[in-house]
A and B are shown apart, each in its own frame.
Chain A
Amino acid sequence: MPLGHLEIDKALARFKDLPTLPDVVARVMQIVGNPLTTADDLNQVISLDQALTFKVLRLANSAYYGFPKEITNITQAVTILGFNTIRNLALSVSVHKMLFSDRDKGLFSHRDFWKHCVATAVASRLLARRVGYKSEDNAFTAGLLHDIGKSLLDRAAHEEFMAAIQLSKDEKLPLYVAERRIFGLSHADVGGRLAEIWNLPVDLRLAVARHHEPGGEGPGEVLVAVVHVANELCRQAGHGASGDHGPAEISPAVSAILDLRSADYEPLLAELATQMKEAEEFFRFSR
Chain B
Amino acid sequence: MSENDPDLRRHIETLEDINEGLRTSFEELAALYRLSETISSAHTFSRVLSLLLEVVHEVVAYDAAVLYLADEKGNMRAHLERGLTPELRARIDAQKRDGLLAWALKQGRALVVPDSGEGSWTQALPTDEVRKSFLLVPVMARGRAVGLLNLVVFAEEGSFTQRDLSLLAILANQAGIALENARLYDKIRRDYFDVIHSLAGAVDARDHFTRQHSNRVSAYGTTIAQCMQLDAEMIESIQYGALLHDVGKIGISDAILNKPSRLTEEEFEIMKTHCVQGAGILKGVESLIPLVPLVLYHHERFDGKGYPEGLAGKQIPLGARVINLADSFETITSDRIYHKARSMEEGLAEIERCSGTQFDPEIVEAFKSCFEDIRAIVRGSGGAT
CA distance A83 to B157 in the complex (A): 13
Type the 1/0 row for B135-176, where 1 means its CB is closer than 8 Å to any CB of A.
Answer: 000000001000000000000111111110110000000000
Type the 1/0 row for A57-101, where 1 means its CB is closer than 8 Å to any CB of B.
Answer: 000000000111110100110111111000000000000000000
Interchain CB contact under 8 A, A68 and B122: no
CA distance A78 to B143 in the complex (A): 23
B109 touches A (CB below 8 Å): yes
With a CB–CB cut-off of 8 A, which chain B residues contact A40?
156, 158-159
Tell me the B306-335 residues at the A interface (CB within 8 Å): none
Q: Residue of B at shortest CB range from A70? A: B122
Interchain CB contact under 8 A, A68 and B98: yes
With a CB–CB cut-off of 8 A, which chain B residues contact A69?
98, 100, 116, 121
CA distance A68 to B116 in the complex (A): 13
Interchain CB contact under 8 A, A35 and B103: no
A6 touches B (CB below 8 Å): no
Interchain CB contact under 8 A, A36 and B111: no
Q: Residue of A at shortest CB range from B112? A: A79
> Taking the nearest CB of chain B, how far is it from the CB of A64, in angstroms?
13
Among A32, A37, A68, A79, contact of B157 (Cβ-Cβ < 8 Å): A79
Q: Residue of A at shortest CB range from B158? A: A40
Interchain CB contact under 8 A, B103 and A66: yes
With a CB–CB cut-off of 8 A, which chain B residues contact A166?
none
B99 touches A (CB below 8 Å): yes
Among B109, B121, B122, B160, contact of A38 (Cβ-Cβ < 8 Å): B160
B113 touches A (CB below 8 Å): yes
Q: When A75-B157, A80-B111, A132-B143 are in contact, do A32 and B162 touch as well, CB less than 8 Å?
A: yes
Among B100, B109, B157, contact of A39 (Cβ-Cβ < 8 Å): B157
Interchain CB contact under 8 A, B114 and A76: yes
Interchain CB contact under 8 A, B162 and A37: yes
A109 touches B (CB below 8 Å): no
With a CB–CB cut-off of 8 A, which chain B residues contact A39?
112, 157-160
CA distance A75 to B113 in the complex (A): 10
CA distance A66 to B102 in the complex (A): 11
A275 touches B (CB below 8 Å): no
**Number of interchain pairs (Cβ within 8 Å):** 62
A43 touches B (CB below 8 Å): yes
CA distance A38 to B159 in the complex (A): 6
CA distance A11 to B165 in the complex (A): 44
CA distance A132 to B144 in the complex (A): 12
With a CB–CB cut-off of 8 A, which chain B residues contact A80?
111-113
Q: Residue of B at shortest CB range from A68? A: B99
Interchain CB contact under 8 A, A35 and B163: yes
Q: Residue of B at shortest CB range from A33? A: B162
Type the 1/0 row for A19-38, where 1 means its CB is closer than 8 Å to any CB of B.
Answer: 00000000000001011111
Q: Residue of A at shortest CB range from B133? A: A79
With a CB–CB cut-off of 8 A, which chain B residues contact A32?
162
Q: When A69-B116, A76-B114, A79-B112 are in contact, do A35 and B166 touch as well, CB less than 8 Å?
A: yes
Interchain CB contact under 8 A, A35 and B157: no
> Taking the nearest CB of chain B, how far is it from the CB of A72, in angstroms?
5
CA distance A70 to B120 in the complex (A): 9
Q: When A68-B99, A82-B111 are in contact, do A43 and B143 touch as well, CB less than 8 Å?
A: no
With a CB–CB cut-off of 8 A, which chain A residues contact B103?
66-68
CA distance A38 to B163 in the complex (A): 9
Interchain CB contact under 8 A, B114 and A36: no
> Taking the nearest CB of chain A, how far is it from the CB of B319, in angstroms?
48
With a CB–CB cut-off of 8 A, which chain A residues contact B143?
132
Give the interface centre of A32, A36, A69, A70 by most chain B CB atoms within 10 Å: A69
Tell me the A38-64 residues at the B interface (CB within 8 Å): 38-40, 43
Q: Residue of B at shortest CB range from A83? A: B162
With a CB–CB cut-off of 8 A, which chain B residues contact A78?
158
> Taking the nearest CB of chain A, how far is it from the CB of B270, in angstroms?
60
> Taking the nearest CB of chain A, how far is it from the CB of B18, in angstroms?
13
With a CB–CB cut-off of 8 A, which chain A residues contact B99?
68
With a CB–CB cut-off of 8 A, which chain A residues contact B165?
82-83
Interchain CB contact under 8 A, B122 and A79: no
With a CB–CB cut-off of 8 A, which chain B residues contact A38?
158-161
Interchain CB contact under 8 A, B158 and A36: no
> Taking the nearest CB of chain B, how far is it from the CB of A43, in angstroms?
6
CA distance A39 to B163 in the complex (A): 11
With a CB–CB cut-off of 8 A, which chain A residues contact B109?
82
Among B100, B113, B163, contact of A79 (Cβ-Cβ < 8 Å): B113
CA distance A34 to B24 in the complex (A): 12
> Taking the nearest CB of chain B, how far is it from the CB of A154, in angstroms?
36
CA distance A36 to B162 in the complex (A): 6
Q: When A68-B98, A70-B122, A132-B143 are in contact, do A79 and B158 touch as well, CB less than 8 Å?
A: yes
Among B98, B122, B162, contact of A72 (Cβ-Cβ < 8 Å): B122
With a CB–CB cut-off of 8 A, which chain A residues contact B122?
70, 72
Interchain CB contact under 8 A, A35 and B100: no
> Taking the nearest CB of chain A, how far is it from the CB of B162, in angstroms?
5
With a CB–CB cut-off of 8 A, which chain A residues contact B163?
35-36
Q: Residue of A at shortest CB range from B121? A: A69
> Taking the nearest CB of chain A, how far is it from the CB of B173, in angstroms?
12
Give the interface centre of A35, A67, A72 by most chain B CB atoms within 10 Å: A35
Give the interface centre of B99, B157, B163 by most chain A CB atoms within 10 Å: B157
Q: Residue of B at shortest CB range from A75? A: B158
CA distance A37 to B163 in the complex (A): 8
Residues of A in contact with B (beta carbons under 8 Å apart): 32, 34-40, 43, 66-70, 72, 75-76, 78-83, 132
A-B pairs, top 7 by smallest CB distance, nearest first, are A40-B158, A79-B112, A35-B163, A68-B99, A75-B158, A39-B158, A79-B157
21 contacts between A and B (CB under 8 A): A32-B162, A35-B161, A35-B162, A36-B161, A38-B159, A38-B160, A38-B161, A39-B112, A39-B159, A39-B160, A40-B159, A43-B158, A66-B103, A67-B103, A69-B98, A70-B121, A76-B114, A76-B157, A79-B160, A83-B162, A83-B165
| Contacts A75-B157, A78-B158, A80-B112 known; 19 new A-B pairs at CB < 8 A | A35-B161, A35-B166, A36-B161, A36-B162, A37-B162, A38-B160, A38-B161, A39-B160, A40-B156, A40-B158, A68-B98, A68-B100, A76-B114, A76-B157, A79-B160, A82-B165, A83-B162, A83-B165, A132-B143
